[in-house]
Amino acid sequence: MENNQQNAPYAVAALVLGICSLLFGCFFVGLICGIIGVVLANKGIQIYNKQPELYSGFGMLKAGKITSILGIIFSAFYTAYYVIAITILGSAGLAWMEWMDIFS
């Protein structure tokens, strides 16, 4: 018996974008890949749920959505950390420069 089922729509794209969001999470690119991955996974899940007998690969859709969400969380934490670190280091650097001007 032959299996005539196709891969679930957007399954591969969502999984690839989810993995990229984890790999590039320390850059802003990870956040963008994660958001696009979640959107594509949700679209694929909606299409799959209408006619599940036509498609296989629902696990890839779920894995793509999960990795995309984890990538978004990781990127958001890293972005917040980066903004806070730059703010603190920037203000500390300015204070240091003003303090050094006193002694010059």
Full DSSP string of 5-63: PEEPTTHHHHHHHHHHHHHTTTSHHHHHHHHHHHHHHHHHHHHHHH-GGGEE-HHHHHH
pLDDT greater than 90 at residue 47:
yes
Work out the mean pLDDT of the chain and round it to a whole number: 85
CB atoms within 10 A of CB 53: 6
Average pLDDT of the residues in 25-52: 92
The CA distance from 19 to 17, in Å, is 5
pLDDT (average), residues 98-103? 60
